[in-house]
Amino acid sequence: MSEQPKLRIDWIACNGYGVCEAAAPDLIVLDDWGYPILPDGPVPHDLMRQARKAINDCPMVALAWESRQTLTGGRLGRLRGRRANP
Ligand code: SF4
């Protein structure tokens, strides 16, 4: 059984126009300012199609799948690598 993925948002890139909510109305709701509120946990299997559409439709490429690489990669990963290999 595979683990269901989670969504994440790059809040710096997000413009808050809510295109993702229109693409995934059963998964994403908007706050009072129009910014998306994502589900706490993994995307339910029956909503994966909506999640993919929301990612693909996001005009700012702010919405993506969260992955282990995201959590350990990027700047944090480089900092850890630098610390481990001075
Ligand atoms: S579609 Fe993308 S940029 Fe627009 S509100 Fe959703 S996450 Fe933010």
pTM, full prediction:
0.78
Of the two residues 14 and 79, the one the predictor is more confident about is: 14
42-64 CB burial, b ≥16 within 10 A, e <16? ebeeebeebbeebbeebeeebbe
Q: How far is the CA of 13 from the centre of ligand 1 (A)?
A: 8
The rounded Å distance from CA 14 to ligand 1 centre is 5
- Average pLDDT over the chain reads 84
Q: How confident is the model at residue 69 (pLDDT cuts 50, 70, 90)?
A: low
**How far is 48 from 84, CA to CA, in rounded Å?**
38
Ligand 1: residues with CB < 6 A are 9, 14-20, 36, 58, 60, 62-63
End-to-end CA distance of the chain: 40
**Residues, the chain:** 86
| Closest protein CA for atom 6 of ligand 1 | 20
- If one compares 75 and 56, the residue with the highest pLDDT of the two is 56
CATH code: domain 6-64 is 3.30.70.20
Domain residue ranges of the chain, discontinuous segments joined by +: 6-64
